[in-house]
Amino acid sequence: MTTSANGNNTYRPDAIIVGAGIAGMQSALDLADQGLQVLLVERESSIGGHMIALAKVFPTLDCASCITAPKMSASAHHDNIRIMVNTEVQAIRTVRGTHHVKLLRKATYVNFDKCIGCRLCEYACDSEYPDPFEAGLGARRAIAVPFTNAIPQKAVLNPELCTTCGSCARVCPTDAIEYDQQSEVVEIETDAVVVASGFALNSLNIKPQYNALQSKNIISALTMERLLAPHGPYGRVLRPSDGKIPSSVAFVQCAGSRDVSIGVPYCSRVCCMYAIKQAMLLSGALPIADITIYYMDIRAFGKGYEQFYQNAKAMGINFVRGKVARIDPIEDGDLNLHVETTEDAENILQEHHHDLVVLAQGMVPEWNPSLSTPVAVASDGFVATPMLTAPTSTTANGIFVAGVASGPKDIVDTIAEAGAAAMQVSQYLYQKRAAQEHVAGPVLVG
């Protein structure tokens, strides 16, 4: 499935998809189902992207992993899809319509061909570090399968924390541990590329007046997703600093976007809705807790979203209009929020006391392709999509974009756009090959 491309120079996929989140997987499946050969490249150790880590999705409150996991297995088991995890795109060079994609295959110190995912190495390992999949709340061993439903189910060794004690190699039934494995660079040719590299969140501390570094109880929305997920780090919602059950949770919206002073003027488009969703889930998980959302405008623009917002209000979730100006850590790990309640006539300056604060950080691009590929980015840093009538086209011929790589959007829009990108790729390949046959014809005759 993820065999090395080395020594297999004949492998030439029809399309390479950069990023195996929900957008990349959807594009890959839509192309593969048309009989095209697809290479799905992922930087992390598992496919699935951010979505596999989410608790539930808005506005239906469907279980996120129940939607993502089947897509992950479908991609992994598809005859026409090949997956490379722990792989980064280093550069794309386009020569006469052929894209030469240079890939860095990072060493995992585990031979994936031999590893059977039995996890004996993980159980034997003594070295632990904060689990990135659980937003640092749980622990992961230095050698481990990334998370329960990761695909591929292969152990990966973290060289930063490995003490090379040899325990894992001793217990491995298939001798898959290779301490001397090296990263390698491979170059693969293809006709089309889809950039589906997704997003990162900007720093929790991007607004210094929120003092996020001074309190463990000022958390990211993705951390809240893990707290809410049924298979999350604690199995219930506890606040990180002391494990207390929160009694008053605040959501601070626009904490990393729509803010020129931090260089992110655009709206991240999903924060209003996920805050409402998390607030609803919290009122189920913590029935007596007060939940407040501090917002500037509620942007409930999608199908069924406004109803979702109205339902949240009816459930008793507090909505306070006003941008939180400052968050001060106070005694017992609690937090004081300074806000002007802009809809009130009197007593507009308020200090609100909460014991857990979720910051709606801004979405920023995960990858800047303009540094090493022909794809240009727009002034906001996301991939530029200059053609209004072909929103998945980039500035480079034969390279397309899907999902958040071209700008913040929710899962619904991401999946629709991934399908559109796949359609554009297959159309592009069809036309390209038809033209080649047309050109080749007379040459053969002549």
CA angle 258-264-267, nearest 5°? Answer: 40
Nearer to other proteins, 234 or 266 (CB): 266
Q: How many residues does the chain have?
A: 446
Q: Residue 326 CB, nearest distance to other proteins (Å)?
A: 6
Task: Give CA–CA dist 270/416, Å, rounded.
Answer: 16
Nearer to other proteins, 180 or 346 (CB): 346
Do 384 and 395 contact (CB within 8 A), yes or no?
yes
Do 186 and 3 contact (CB within 8 A), yes or no?
no
Q: Residue 218 CB, nearest distance to other proteins (Å)?
A: 17
Distance of CA 186 to the CA centre of its chain: 25
Half-sphere exposure of 274 (CA within 13 A, CB side): 29
Nearer to other proteins, 62 or 297 (CB): 297
Q: Residue 336 CB, nearest distance to other proteins (Å)?
A: 12
Provide the token pair at 361. 């950080």
> For binding to other proteins (CB under 8 A), which residues are involved?
207, 209, 254, 258-261, 296-297, 321-326, 338-342, 345-349
Distance of CA 210 to the CA centre of its chain: 24
Q: Residue 262 CB, nearest distance to other proteins (Å)?
A: 8
| 386 phi and psi angles, rounded to 5 deg | -70, -20
Q: How far is CA 264 from CA 260, 268, 412, in A?
A: 6, 9, 23
Nearer to other proteins, 187 or 343 (CB): 343
Q: Residue 192 CB, nearest distance to other proteins (Å)?
A: 40
Q: Residue 334 CB, nearest distance to other proteins (Å)?
A: 18
Nearer to other proteins, 348 or 435 (CB): 348
Q: Residue 211 CB, nearest distance to other proteins (Å)?
A: 11
Nearer to other proteins, 99 or 207 (CB): 207
Strands (DSSP E) found in 49-127: 56-57, 62-63, 81-84, 87-95, 98-105
Nearer to other proteins, 114 or 321 (CB): 321
Which residues have a Cβ under 8 Å from the Cβ of 146 and sit 6 or more positions away?
44, 45, 46, 133, 140, 156
Torsion of CA 297, 301, 304, 310, to 10 degrees: 10
Nearer to other proteins, 262 or 412 (CB): 262
Q: Residue 367 CB, nearest distance to other proteins (Å)?
A: 26
Do 106 and 187 contact (CB within 8 A), yes or no?
no
| 165 phi and psi angles, rounded to 5 deg | -80, -20
